[in-house]
Chain A
Amino acid sequence: MSESAFEPKIVGFLCNWCSYRAADLAGTARMKYEPNIRIIRVMCSGRVDPTFVLKALSLGADGVMLAGCHPGECHYIEQNYKTIRRFKMLKHTLRALGIEEERVRLQWASAGEGALLASAINEMVDQVRELGPLYWPGNWADNEGSQDAIQALPREHAEAMEVPA
């Protein structure tokens, strides 16, 4: 039961000219999509530095979606080709760090593709819900017993170095 209580937090970086409008369109057309995505509007998918994705994950996001105009339709000429290259470089790195494929996704959606974007969001939310929480900060939590071991040291030094009166 507790499994189904998990609701993923997904951060979405949507480009202003296509994908953000697609999300708007989905809204005005009253299409339903999962509320798990927190959308951040950027001017272009090419604005999304891999740093943004890494930071979102390190702060506890369970997944990140990048969405932009279809290749060839970017409003800054060929920035979204750069997005493809960066995204692949990033995925290559995330794979090495043990982060599942489905957690970071690149989605093309033009201004007219509200339904497509909504279904991509729903699909991603389902996949990440299935994977479970990422909870990345848990990876660097203190080792069990480290505080005790640290606190024991001055006493051990005193025992080893001081001659009792």
Chain B
Amino acid sequence: MSDGGAPTPEKGKLALYWAASCGGCEIAVLGIDDKVLKVAEAFDIVLWPCVMDGKVRDIEKMPDKSIDLCLFNGAIRTSEQEYMAQLLRRKSKVLVAFGSCAAEGCIPALANMNTREEIFQTAYHDTPSTDNPDGVRPQIETEVPEGTLHLPLFYDTVKTLGQSVEVDYYLPGCPPEPDRIWDALVAILTGQLPAPGSVIGATTTVCDTCPRTRNEKKIKEFKRTWEIIPDPDTCLLEQGVVCCGIATRAGCGALCPTVGSPCIGCYGPNEGVVDFGARMMTALASVIDSQDPDEIDRIIQEGIPDPIGSFYRFGLANSLLRRKALAHNGDGRVAEPA
């Protein structure tokens, strides 16, 4: 490492893994451009399924704690992903929840509004493009003449990486901005790290980095993005657009509100925000200009047709309630686990 990093006498070992994710985090890693060569200077890459060949079996055979850094993106929704999380936790000195899926569940965790049964029903039976006359569904074990075939178990509830194993650092963002990735890598390589378990990133909100002006104006209705061409200079929330900047950690440079699109919260909750949705509920309650319960009801019902999509688009798995209630067993109660 020549600039910013300490010289590394011996190359460290780096693993990158993906679980329930879209692949955008992988591309974000490459977004650091030619600095990726510096990463290659500092580390031998022992696992990176998106980019190179490598066998899990080889990782299993490595001594514990022999990987210096593992960047793990993706949420945990199958037994295989959970196994990989446990394996890489054991083998790594530093495990980073890389990106929104690993950190807080992100889009995959919106599946927590449904059950496994509902998802299978849609995917293997109901969609118009499904052709499945025998009603075949994934089985965790299938007997064939050659032996038994296995598929991972699909979970009812998507989990974050931190809900599965202990995580050393969180790097938020959907995906993390390349500059923030580089900052984090430099911090890790030079040992200039915050306390374990914390987020590597800003401790302010997107609002704090947004160029728009706030006037403490209140509103009579919320507007969907297609209903309004917002004024370019004033706060979007004060124009009735549900903008999540107030709850969201800075790090993106307020890219969306700067170009007239509301913040949707992809950088996750700011420091000190326990539940992203609760913070948004409070913020939106403050801008509604009404004291009349019926009118308030109307403003909310009409303006926020999908509260989970608006408040928990990126963080349902990491929210206090984590999911929609599971199918009740007939009398309004969730079965207690044995």
Contacts and interface: CB of A to CB of B under 8 A. Distances in A.
A138 B153 CA distance: 19
Given A54-B320, A90-B281, A146 B334 contact: no
Nearest to B325: A98
A33 interface: no
B296 A84 contact: yes
Contacts, number: 146
Interface string B284-295: 111010110100
Interface of B (DSSP majority class): mixed
A101 interface: no
Contacts of B282: 49-50, 86
B75 to A, nearest CB: 13
Interface in B294-314: 296-297, 300-301, 304, 306-308, 311
B326 A139 contact: yes
B274 A140 contact: no
Nearest to B149: A156
Interface residues of B, number: 57
A135 B336 contact: yes
Interface string A140-154: 111101100110111
Contacts of B55: 161
B88 to A, nearest CB: 13
A142 B337 contact: yes
Nearest to A136: B321
A88 B307 contact: no
B300 A97 contact: no
A57 interface: yes
B177 interface: no
Nearest to B301: A92
Given A96-B308, A146-B153, A50 B281 contact: yes
Contacts of A57: 320-321
A109 B155 CA distance: 45
Given A78-B291, A158-B57, 15 more contacts: A86-B282, A88-B285, A93-B311, A97-B308, A98-B325, A136-B325, A138-B337, A139-B325, A139-B326, A139-B334, A142-B337, A150-B79, A153-B80, A153-B83, A161-B55
Interface of B: 55-57, 60, 79-80, 82-83, 86, 113, 116, 140, 150, 152-153, 155-157, 159, 274-275, 277-279, 281-282, 284-286, 288, 290-291, 293, 296-297, 300-301, 304, 306-308, 311, 319-326, 331-337
Interface of A: 49-51, 54-55, 57-58, 71, 78, 81-82, 84-86, 88-90, 92-93, 96-100, 131-136, 138-143, 145-146, 149-150, 152-154, 156-158, 160-162
